[in-house]
A and B are shown apart, each in its own frame.
Chain A
Amino acid sequence: QQQVKQSPQSLIVQKGGISIINCAYENTAFDYFPWYQQFPGKGPALLIAIRPDVSEKKEGRFTISFNKSAKQFSLHIMDSQPGDSATYFCAASNSGSRLTFGEGTQLTVNP
């Protein structure tokens, strides 16, 4: 019940396209859903996060869509750029406790 399932495992997008990464969770007690971006050899960096009281949050080119009834949330990267090429992790937590991470998605944006 603590799992967070992430898909796809890898994603290739052309420059200017939309990258979409999906996550699904089981634990209905989760109340915080962040997305992290990780470049090779670096630690994860918080990209954007959402709480279940809203269905969408947008920050620049990054948008989280949240579907509470389906227990799913997704990251949309608009106008994808080669510099966005990285590994993206979704995560979930309950009241600030430990994060449960998805398996990660390796995004490649071709120029």
Chain B
Amino acid sequence: GAVVSQHPSWVICKSGTSVKIECRSLDFQATTMFWYRQFPKQSLMLMATSNEGSKATYEQGVEKDKFLINHASLTLSTLTVTSAHPEDSSFYICSARDSTQYFGPGTRLTVT
């Protein structure tokens, strides 16, 4: 099956700093990638839809200036959490779509 990778798998950063998470489709080209966040024992919450070469579409309530998404190529999308705060601590998961959606392994972000 198709493989999606994320880097890093976990990151700890200090409050006020920014952190970048990479999402790569390893064996297919993904015109569309999605970014989710997941809190413990909860479902996945879609944050934004990222289309290659265009601006991301953010879900209602998601601050686009805080969660910067770039999808510069058909195999790479990045999520940058700017000026991170402890409430941004969460599990961030990307997915990439060809005929179906394949999910990455997730990135655990802890903001201290």
A residues with CB within 8 A of B: 32, 34, 36, 41-46, 49, 89, 96, 98-99, 101-104, 106
Contact = CB atoms under 8 A, between A and B. Distances in A.
B105 A96 contact: no
Nearest to A9: B41
Nearest to A34: B100
Determine the interface band of chain B, counting residues with CB < 8 A from chain A.
20 to 34
A89 B93 CA distance: 15
Contact of B105 (A32, A42, A104): A42
12 contacts: A42-B106, A43-B4, A43-B6, A44-B44, A46-B1, A46-B101, A96-B97, A98-B49, A99-B101, A101-B43, A104-B41, A106-B41
Nearest to B59: A98
Contacts, number: 46
B103 interface: yes
B54 interface: no
Contacts of A41: 91, 106, 108
Interface in B41-80: 41-44, 46, 49
Contacts of B101: 34, 46, 99
A89 B103 contact: no
A41 B100 CA distance: 22
A44 B46 CA distance: 14
